[in-house]
Chains A and B, each alone.
Chain A
Amino acid sequence: MSAPALELAGVTVRFGGVTAVDSVDLSIGAGEVVALVGHNGAGKTTLVELLSGALARDAGEIHVNGRAAALRSPRDAQLAGLATLHQHLALADNLDVVANVFLGHELRARSGLLDERAMEDEARALLERLAPGFAALREPVSQLSGGQRQLVAIARALRLHAKVLLLDEPTAALGPGERGRVVELVARLAAEQLAILLVSHDLETALAVAHRVAVMRRGRLVAVRSREELDAASLSALIVG
């Protein structure tokens, strides 16, 4: 058995006297989807910020594919193989889809200039894998729907060889029609052996796609249950405590 894709041990974050994340232990295997649920202020967002490299931890170990990850900056997290999709997707609205997929990692031809054709080909192949028929490669992302923007952000993560995908409230900004597509997409990404941590208020989506559900309350991880042990009522009960 190889090491889990993501492993947290005793991870703790304090803000002054408040312990926002309190010795959390959690591991996620490749191809596994874990939903992280809890009330506002339970520590979910702090945990996401920590894993995205935007926030330092006060204690604890984090391993990605068995290797210790420092996560001192967003770039650090990227290099470790952790990709975060923030709720308000961090895309440059004025640039097109191809430019956003390659943002910060643009390909260059031998001349030193941007290799637009290579980037377009690779972006097309990536997006074709995620959403067959995606055609808007040269549209500014400001012109795309919420679901299409999500695809662009995921394509960027895949291009950087992410091992672990953190989805922060992926359904919050979407219409009801697009929710089903997120569920499908998450299942497809898991089938490609990505480990996925899905942070959501949306219990329906969490139960629809997760293999296991982790519940946070006041900074602590109070329960981790497999999907089969749960239904909407028992999950709500765990969240309230």
Chain B
Amino acid sequence: MPRSAVVGAPSPRTRVRAMLVALAALWLALALLSGGLFLSPRNLVNLAVQASAVAVMACGMVLVITARQIDLSVGSVLGFTGMVIAALQAEDGLLAAPLPWPVALLAGLALATAIGAWHGAWVAYARLPSFVATLAGLLIFRGAAWLVSDGRTLAPLAEDYVRIGGGPSGTIAGVPLPVLVLVATALGVHVLATRTRFGRHVFAIGGSPRAAELAGIDVRGVTLRAFALSGALAGVAAVLTTARLGAGTNSMGMQAELAVIAAAVLGGTSLAGGSGSVAGAVLGALWMQSLENGMVLLDVTSALRQVIIGLVLLAAVAADARARKSAT
């Protein structure tokens, strides 16, 4: 059969398999280097909890990038909505009478979704490049997070709320709650991406915006909803982060957008749009967190860790680009 000149992407299933192999190789190496410490149950639980916030956001980023957009705001939206959730339930927060934590949580999720939709509106209806619209969001909501409490750390948070962060009392059948939240999110977004009209239209827009438009797809509406989903998941990550810290702090989510985008790209989501996998992105987040966690165990300094993670990302994406080319 004749083949077109379009650069082919390896199928999502191949990609997920490759990511599993890469993860197993990394774990084996870190286990050997750390004398088995890396694979201890306690460290693996830690690792999973640490990875969950980034992985949850990466699920949303897959759809945004697949639709040929980018969302640079997720780290700041996490920070801002996390501060709001903390401020609504803490004793010395925004309100004279603090709200019950479930109300604060739902308000935070609604706020994060609205912020995502707001970014989406600038992109879809005002036709701003998403790089610019969400870069503005990155600045706005990082500053807004500080303004919520004038830079103070807000603590303590409700005892039941803090369980969501996966401490010793925050598990179901031994599995930490953040991991369960991640699994539910990943399954939900996977179904959304592969089994619904919305997901199909996201992929169609990423493959050919013109074809999608001519087929009568509501390109603007779909784009807006992809950003709203990304915002909502930054809200979920804000809940996981504040609950784990037991506080709202100013540094929450700082530079998280980079880890989230890197996880999606490592997991096989193409920055050219039209192809991506939720499972791949979750594995990408887990892979990066494993590297970070392993290097901490090995006493690698934070500066050197950054250098190494940057180099590894570069190598992984370069290898991916070669694989895509040879797949044609």
A93/B200 in contact, CB under 8 A: no
State which residues 107-161 of A face B: CB under 8 Å: 108, 112-114, 136, 139-140, 142-145, 156
With a CB–CB cut-off of 8 A, which chain B residues contact A94? 9, 203, 206-208, 274-275
A104/B208 in contact, CB under 8 A: no
With a CB–CB cut-off of 8 A, which chain B residues contact A223? none
A99 to B211, CA, bound (A): 12
With a CB–CB cut-off of 8 A, which chain B residues contact A91? 208, 211
The chain B residue with its CB closest to the CB of A104 is B215
B197/A136 in contact, CB under 8 A: no
A48 to B265, CA, bound (A): 41
A95/B204 in contact, CB under 8 A: yes
With a CB–CB cut-off of 8 A, which chain B residues contact A105? 215-216
Shortest distance between the CB of A73 and any CB in chain B (Å): 8
Shortest distance between the CB of A156 and any CB in chain B (Å): 8
The chain B residue with its CB closest to the CB of A140 is B8
Interface residues on A, range: 20 to 34
Q: With A94-B274, A94-B275, A142-B8 given, is the CB distance from A104 to B212 under 8 Å? A: yes
Shortest distance between the CB of B144 and any CB in chain A (Å): 36
A114/B203 in contact, CB under 8 A: no
With a CB–CB cut-off of 8 A, which chain B residues contact A90? 208, 210-211, 214-215
B208/A106 in contact, CB under 8 A: no
Q: Mark B261-276, 1 if CB is under 8 A from A, else 0.
A: 0000000000000110
Which applies to chain A's interface (DSSP): helix, strand, loop or mixed? loop
State which residues 83-117 of B face A: CB under 8 Å: none
A75/B203 in contact, CB under 8 A: no
A92/B211 in contact, CB under 8 A: yes
With a CB–CB cut-off of 8 A, which chain A residues contact B195? 113-114
B2 within 8 A of A: yes
A136 to B2, CA, bound (A): 12
Q: With A74-B216, A145-B2 given, is the CB distance from A92 to B196 under 8 Å? A: no
A92/B197 in contact, CB under 8 A: no
A103 within 8 A of B: yes
B208/A93 in contact, CB under 8 A: yes
With a CB–CB cut-off of 8 A, which chain B residues contact A104? 201, 204, 212, 215-217
The chain B residue with its CB closest to the CB of A103 is B215
State which residues 1-18 of B face A: CB under 8 Å: 1-4, 6, 8-9
With a CB–CB cut-off of 8 A, which chain B residues contact A86? 214
The residue among B200, B210, B211 with the most chain A CB atoms within 10 A of its own CB is B211
A138 to B32, CA, bound (A): 44
B213/A74 in contact, CB under 8 A: yes
B214/A143 in contact, CB under 8 A: no
A200 within 8 A of B: no
B212/A103 in contact, CB under 8 A: yes
B196/A93 in contact, CB under 8 A: no
B139 within 8 A of A: no
With a CB–CB cut-off of 8 A, which chain B residues contact A46? none
Q: With A92-B208, A95-B207, A142-B6 given, is the CB distance from A106 to B214 under 8 Å? A: no
15 chain-A/chain-B pairs, Cβ below 8 angstroms: A90-B208, A90-B211, A90-B215, A92-B215, A95-B204, A99-B200, A99-B204, A103-B215, A103-B217, A105-B215, A108-B197, A113-B196, A139-B1, A142-B6, A143-B3
Residues of A in contact with B (beta carbons under 8 Å apart): 52, 54, 74-75, 78, 86, 90-95, 99, 103-106, 108, 112-114, 136, 139-140, 142-145, 156
